Amino acid sequence: MSARELDLECYANISEFEVTLRRIVRWELMSLYGRSWLAETGAYLNLINDRIASEGKKGINRGCSSYLSYLTLGELQTLIFKDFWNSTFSNIFSGKKSLQKDLLEKILPVRNKVAHFRPVTNVEFSALFITSDFFDLLKQHYQKSEHTSFYLSGESQRGSELLDYAILSEARGHLEKYKSESILDDFLNLQWLRAYGVSPGLGIFKKNLFLELYFEGCYSSDLIMNWVEKKEFEVTLATFSKTPNLVRVFIPMILGEKVLSKTISALANVAKDACFDRELSSKNNIFGGASEILIDRSEGKALSFAF
């Protein structure tokens, strides 16, 4: 591998690591605090706002950049391993706080080198293998089947579940725990989407309601992605897949029944409109907005993160 190829590979590895770290922070804090998740970070929010304002004075627009992208990797790790460690992240990383020391000593120096366009060595590149431990811990946590309360799949061949009283009763029972039992009726009323070639599914995964949409044909991902970006304080995460044509949108249960209901209705209408733009959709790169965190079905009705 040439020196230049090594630098590019190093950049890709660090980018995957850092962006995933942000996604995990946002997922966990938004699941706990809903729309106020950013305010819960306290002084970090002040730092973020100051940096956004500083860029604005220089004519730089934040655009769709995440708020957490305005924190350094060191600040992000302090947030995880110090400020929210006991309340949130200790459980996710199996209590291995020593991981922070490894990440800071081995990744941060290389990350800074790459950021300043200085060539990395083979030894420095090898140090990045520590990130595999990071991803392994995330897999162990997020792939536990108990994170899924219920799952009504949007796959057309499993449509009979919507006629099974026992399955629907179980789903309603889980929603009642969040005082959101009417959400099941909202979902069942979405069956009109099938006339447009869209099969909806519903479930709860790790304190988030998720609505999945299977598209029989191509669809315009831009419409859905733009809608997701406008809902940055209501949508925890959205994932897109080309095979099959599938979209999943996650919404924190803590937002409450009324917000959940409105969000489901709004997404359904956007999905309907997305079906009309078939010629354009075939040209779109729907992986452009795909999350670094993909969702895959495993073991019966369980959903798990797949990194």
Domains and CATH numbers, the chain: 3-142 (no CATH), 146-306 (3.30.1460)
Most distant CA atoms of the chain, gap in Å: 62
Give pLDDT, residue 283.
41
Q: What global pTM score does this model have? A: 0.84
Give pLDDT, residue 290.
33
Return d(Cα 158, Cα 143) in angstroms, integer.
Answer: 22
Give pLDDT, residue 3.
56
Those residues with Cβ within 8 angstroms of residue 72's Cβ, 6 or more apart along the chain or in another chain:
none
Q: What are phi and psi of 87, to 5 degrees?
A: -80, -25
Please report the sign of the dihedral spanned by the C-alpha atoms of residue 261, residue 266, residue 272, residue 274: negative
- 139-198 confidence digits (pLDDT tens): 888 877 788 888 898 888 777 888 889 999 999 999 999 999 999 999 999 999 999 999
Return d(Cα 250, Cα 27) in angstroms, integer.
Answer: 9
The residue ranges of the chain whose pLDDT is under 50 are: 277-302, 304-307
Burial 36-72 (b: 16+ CB within 10 A, else e): ebbeebeebeeebeebeeeeeeeeeeeeeeebbebbe
